[in-house]
Amino acid sequence: MSDAAKRSFDILLVLVALFAGWQALYHVAGETALTSPAQTLAYVGELLTTKGDMFARHAWETGRAFLMALGLSYAIGLAIGVALGAHRLSGAVAEPILVALYSLPKVTLYPVILLVFGLGLSAKVAFGAIHGVVPVAVFAMNAIRNIKPAYLKTAKTMRLGPFQVVSTVIFPAALPEIVTGLRVGFSLTLLGVIIGEMFASKQGLGFMVINAINLADVETMMAVAFLLFVAAAIANGILLWIDHWLHKRV
């Protein structure tokens, strides 16, 4: 109980520090660069109430694109990762390629994606998905490759069938690492979708931000950024909690 209390206190401390820093920055940089925490929160309230319809339309657009991109990056990433993890030689060949792709600034590929998928939802989804696929695949591949040989030998001495080996040994042994990959993939897919919306899009939260920047509408820019930050922090917190829960036994 006191552990939980201490944790909440730590989180509160970080939040207070963040807001204090933000307020200080506001005083240094001034009105033209950013709004104060109080102003931002007030405008967030406005976005969620009187301007709710407009905000909801953009948020829904982003949410829909993000969920599709996430589904794709998880499905494709896991398929690639599992296949490469199960086949040692392919994994050894693919790993340097994947790592190179991982560090490549993917925004350089965006023109190509726009040419392939055209303007609109599919380009955003594809751009989000290519951000998420690589970490999901790399983590899943390593999770399976690094399973201790002794676990598999133990499964053999227990005379398990192939399906039992996968479901009762390989899957639980690889799960913690796979979930770490899903968590990293989640953040990067969101990043990809938002960046995708910033260019060549007329809808979505990314568009709202870039449009506000063009109009020097600091209030909107800050409020949307704040809401995105909150949503991402909550989602990441949940995934991190699952991640830790799975890892603490390893």
Partner 1 sequence: MNAGASGNGGGRAAAELHAELGGVTRVYPAVAGYRPVHALGPVDLDLRRGEFFSVVGPSGCGKSTLLEVLAGLQPPSEGKVSFEGKPVHGQVPEGVGVVFQEDASFPWLSVWDNAAFGLRRAGVDSAEIERRVGDALAFMGLKDFQRAYPAQLSGGMRQRVCIARTLVLQPRLILLDEPFGALDAQTRLLMGDEVLRLWRRTGATILLITHALDEAAMLSDRVGVMSARPGRFLDLVETKWPKERDSTIVSEAGFGEVTARLWHHLRGESLKALGQSGAAAAGGRAEA
Q: Is 162 in the site for partner 1 (CB under 8 A)?
A: no
Least distance CB 169 / partner 1 (angstroms): 8
DSSP string covering 28-79, please?
Answer: HH-TTT---HHHHHHHHHHHHTTTHHHHHHHHHHHHHHHHHHHHHHHHHHHH
Q: Which of 50, 146 has the CB closer to partner 1?
A: 146
Q: Is 42 in the site for partner 1 (CB under 8 A)?
A: no
Q: Is 156 in the site for partner 1 (CB under 8 A)?
A: yes
Yes or no: say if 173 and 163 are a contact pair by the CB < 8 Å rule: no
SS3 201: coil
Distance of alpha carbon 207 from alpha carbon 193, whole angstroms: 11
Binding mask 7-26 for partner 1 (x = CB under 8 A): --------------------
Distance of alpha carbon 105 from alpha carbon 109, whole angstroms: 8
Least distance CB 97 / partner 1 (angstroms): 21
Q: Is 164 in the site for partner 1 (CB under 8 A)?
A: yes
Please state the φ and ψ torsions of residue 118, each to the nearest 5 degrees.
75, 175
Q: Is 175 in the site for partner 1 (CB under 8 A)?
A: yes
Least distance CB 90 / partner 1 (angstroms): 16
Q: Which of 64, 87 has the CB closer to partner 1?
A: 87
Q: Is 33 in the site for partner 1 (CB under 8 A)?
A: no
Long-range interactions of 232-236: CB distance < 8 A, separation 24+:
232/187, 232/190, 235/186, 236/183, 236/186, 236/187
Q: Is 172 in the site for partner 1 (CB under 8 A)?
A: yes
Yes or no: say if 30 and 38 are a contact pair by the CB < 8 Å rule: no
Among residues 159, 162, 214, 216, the one that binds partner 1 under rule CB under 8 A:
159
Positions touching partner 1 (CB under 8 A) are 148-151, 153-154, 156-160, 164, 168-169, 172-173, 175, 246, 248-250
